[in-house]
A and B are shown apart, each in its own frame.
Chain A
Amino acid sequence: MADVTSSKIQFDDKGATPRYNLVLNQHADNFIEFSVVGSGETTFNLSGYAFSGSVRKHIGSSSTATDSVNLGFDTGGRAVGVITARVTAGLTTNFSKISPRYTYDIITTDNTSGVKRKLVTGNVNVDVGVTKVGGGGTDDSDDVLGSNRICIAVIDESSSAGTVDSANSASNAVTVSEYNAFRETFPNRKHYILQPTPTGIAKTEAIMTDAVKAVYVSGFTDGRQVQGVNRDGGDASEASDWFNIVGISTMNITKLALFIDTSGSMDLNTVAASRAKFIGTCTANGITIREEDNGDEDWIEPFTGILA
């Protein structure tokens, strides 16, 4: 949503690089859409090109976390000469207010010839921001995104084959990259996996691969990665006490997020009594439950977005 004096830039063989200055918002994502035309303002097909770019303190400065912010690109429209540049640095852009002028450029690479050319360049002025929202605990006030939310996944398996591993192509298991993306965006969300099993004993290999086990950080602090719970089938006498298992009574929270797998191998009835008990206990303790869903036996995706 940055201002740009004109989004139309000419891209031809004459060698001149168009200059457009940008005003970018601090503590926000900024999208800049460029319409690229050939000489004579003819439509230019950018399908054979790749894009790279950066924002730096000045030309030639080294890229550091504090004075350089990367440009990402949405190339979905490049067949009709439209690319969208997104100024990114995690969830928010963190420019220095003290010296808010930068420079940027965007480089194109012809995928066939390998020839690189500068598509556009210019100055960046940063408009300082007041409201700061961040998933990584950088929020300056109330937890707008639910960045500190307790996340509870009740799921019996992530694979119809019973075990998730790289050789199991039917597996819906969370990948390391998916898990790491979640962890990077929301490092303060505590994640718990409760696994309904016939014995009440966890079978971790049905939930996550060895690779994910190696990186997974459970909300349980005693080494448990997955906690087994009962498949109660709606029988109150078989209900598990999720509230105490997770240890919510020791947490000072008013909201939490809950995902119950309903993909087929289990459904809401599988844990109906435990769920009812949990909801009742949470309500009695003034805790609001945000119930999330997912049809792919994915125990991370339900917690990757806004959990306000």
Chain B
Amino acid sequence: MAVKKLINVTQIKKDLFIPRNVNYEESFTIKDRITGSGVSFSGFSSSILTSRIKQHPDSVSIACTFTAAFTDASSGVLKLSLTPTQTNQLKSGRYFYDCVVITEDKPDADTAGDLHIERLVQGQVIVE
């Protein structure tokens, strides 16, 4: 069985404007570059989304971490969210963020799988 990979996925580039001291959430639909339909993430053995905000892309420190989760994995819909506490901890200004998915697919149940890390969303964050 061939190992599943994410190929021809349209990477979303979007800047986010985040007010302080409130809940914030943003949803994205990851689409196939050729067909235009939502990409299914449900066929992998395992997958994890993770998303960081940094002052600069190469910063060692992290300004904040989005809670990232699929709301409809089979259609490629994911959501990034922050709590009021998190948005309050961000100082006003410009930041950078991206969201990557780590996928694991195993040829069969007893064979080690292949781990892939792929970027789905990226852009700047403006904290108002």
Contact B122 A296 (CB under 8 A): no
Distance A178 CA – B111 CA, assembled complex (angstroms): 10
Question: Looking at A29, A33, A76, A185, which has the most chain B CB atoms within 10 Å of its CB?
Answer: A29
Stretch of A51-59, A137-145, A205-213, A275-283 with 4 or more beta carbons under 8 angstroms from chain B: A137-145
A305 on interface, CB distance cutoff 8 Å? yes
Main secondary structure of the interface of B (DSSP, over half): strand
Per the CB 8 Å criterion, the residue count for chain A at the interface is: 46
Distance A92 CA – B118 CA, assembled complex (angstroms): 9
B88 on interface, CB distance cutoff 8 Å? no
When C-beta atoms are compared, the residue in chain A nearest to B63 turns out to be A130
Contact A131 B98 (CB under 8 A): yes
List chain A residues, Cβ under 8 A from B46.
305-306
Contact A31 B7 (CB under 8 A): yes
A129 on interface, CB distance cutoff 8 Å? yes
When C-beta atoms are compared, the residue in chain A nearest to B58 turns out to be A97
Contact bitstring B6-33, A, C-beta under 8 A = 1, else 0: 1111010000000000000000000000
B53 on interface, CB distance cutoff 8 Å? yes
Looking at the assembled complex, report how far the CB atom of A35 sits from the nearest CB atom of chain B, in whole angstroms.
11
Contact A1 B58 (CB under 8 A): no
Contact A1:B48 (CB < 8 A) given known A127-B122, A140-B62, A301-B110: no
**Interface positions of A (Cβ within 8 A of B):** 1, 3, 7, 25-31, 33, 74, 76, 84, 86, 91-92, 97, 127-133, 135, 140-142, 144-145, 178, 181-182, 185, 293-296, 298, 300-301, 304-306, 308
